[in-house]
Amino acid sequence: MRLVVLALMVWPATAQLRKQEREGAPVRNMTAAERTQLGDPFFLLVLKPKPNETRLDEIEKLIVGRSGKRRLFVVSEEVMDAAAGTGHSRRTVTGYTGVNQGMQLDPNVSLSVFFTDQAFRLDDLEAMGWDDARNRYNYYKLDRQGGALTWKFRGSSVDADKLTPEQRAGTCLRCHITGGPVMKELPIPWNNWHSFRSLVGYLSPDSPNAWAIAKSPRFLDLAGAQDFETSFVLPSIKQFDGRRVDALTRAVPGGRREATDGRRLLRPLFETLEYNLTSADQPSGLHPFPTRGDGPVVDIQVPDTFFLNANLLAGGGFTRYQGLGIAEARQFADVLKLTPAEYRDTVKAFQTRIGGREFDANFAWLVPEASHADNQMADILVRRGIVTAEFAAAVLAVDLENPVFSQDRESLLQFVPARFRFKPRNAEDVPPAHPDELTTAVIQAVRASGVPAGSARETFVKLLEDPQPVQRVREAVAAYLARQTTSLEGVARAAEIRRLYRRMLERRIAAQKRIPDLVESNFLFPTGSAQ
């Protein structure tokens, strides 16, 4: 009897996990059948045994068990602002390492919670967990919608990439477009994250302007964005994209496989589903926090991925793509280096502003680039022989100078057949011969639709019909490099810098329109005039 009483004291027998489809929707109890479909570590370790647990310390104890570890990361579009008080909050993302009850914690479970200078806000806590058996992420939220502070299941990554913006509204998938993890400032120097490139002093307990909360035990586990990138985000996306490919192909006779939804499978190669933010590695000196300076103090080196999708074209790098082996794409890293005066004058000429005042991002030339989520998916397609390197090169060559949000490339997805077969490839296998079944089918579809001179279709189909598309694209990259280098010399330089800066601003605008929920404040994308 005593044991029964203690059990009731620890947890009410009536406790149930709740469910909410989207913000503002009715909240209801999950059925037993619905709960059996949840198998991620967060559900199994926390919500299944204690669905009404709302204390952060207790939640984390359930996650880490006896041997797991916590890693705390901080991100905010105002992260460099040391001001404290009403209206100032930051967001933590917490990852966990180790094994608990036979479940691998990293990179399969994480929490996101806001904090002020004094305390964590437990009425807006989000969690995600990877269900390895069902190949999906599950999303949960702790808030007061529906009355008391309760956990709600907020959906999963299943078919996330098929949803329209209207269907995503009010759900976790409004930001997690394909259903997987999002770290939009993924590459160094990690704009808006605490990292070794931009240490946030007020998060250190020894700092003279330290926030009170920085002295709490949780901040002993504070780590930099570089660790979040390598230990959690990159392996998570690799795992998730690999399972997406598995789900969209099936084995067929003859040792081959078949794409069961060709357009959906190849969509990340043609379309910008997500974006990452890249920038120069040098501070602009024009950011409002902690105080605006007079501009950069060293030359500003514009990243290669501004000019083209260098990561996928060249391969290698921190993402370790196989890529297409077009090393010339990496030479764009040396194309544009602006002097401090050139950069300062360009920002002034375009009246680049944050909140109506002349400011710039923390690191200079902040611009959307092709996302790791999309590129990783495209790289898997090549690695596994689903598309040939020649096919991928032909796609990337269309609108080569516009690596994100290209309507020309997007317009070509319609020619991919719903189903096509391929010979699965391992890393050591000989690459598939060009043209393969997919390439032949796409050539026929494009030709049947008509090929206007000078169109994206013409560029695409001519490359597909060429016996050596990768070599042709390598030549196109080299020609682009020479042309871009020449245009930045002599009297033409100033006008070309303005043209490129305008293009950078246009991409910021496109990103805001395409995925507006990833913009959390007006500090993310400094805007400018259209001159």
pLDDT tens digit sequence for 332-379: 999 999 999 999 999 999 999 998 888 999 999 999 999 999 999 999
Q: β-strand 18-20 against 150-156: which pairing, if any?
A: parallel
- The kind and range of the H/E element at 93 are strand 90-97
- The kind and range of the H/E element at 469 are helix 469-487
| pLDDT, position 246 | 97
Whether residue 190 is predicted with pLDDT greater than 90 in this model: the reply is yes
Residue whose pair of structure tokens reads 């930045």 in the numeric block: 488
- State the DSSP string of 358-406: E---SBSS-EEEE-HHHHHHHHHHHHTTSS-HHHHHHHHHTTTT--SS-
- Residues near 363 by Cβ (< 8 Å), separated by ≥ 6? 189, 191, 198, 279, 280, 281, 282, 283, 284
Whether residue 4 is predicted with pLDDT greater than 50 in this model: the reply is no
Residue 26, both tokens? 């009715």
Give the rounded percent of residues in the chain with a pLDDT score beyond 90: 90
* Cα–chain center distance at 317: 17
Predicted TM-score of the model (pTM): 0.94
Region 138-167: mean pLDDT is 96
Angle between the 456-465 and 469-487 helix axes, to the nearest 10 degrees?
130
| pLDDT, position 7 | 32
pLDDT tens digits, 291-347 = 888 999 999 999 999 999 999 999 998 889 999 999 999 999 999 999 999 999 999
For CA atoms 446, 450, 455, 458, give the dihedral sign. positive
Whether residue 8 is predicted with pLDDT greater than 70 in this model: the reply is no
pLDDT tens digits, 450-501 = 999 999 999 999 999 999 999 999 999 999 999 999 999 999 999 999 999 9
Pick the closest to residue 98 from 60, 125, 141, 128 (CA basis). Answer: 60
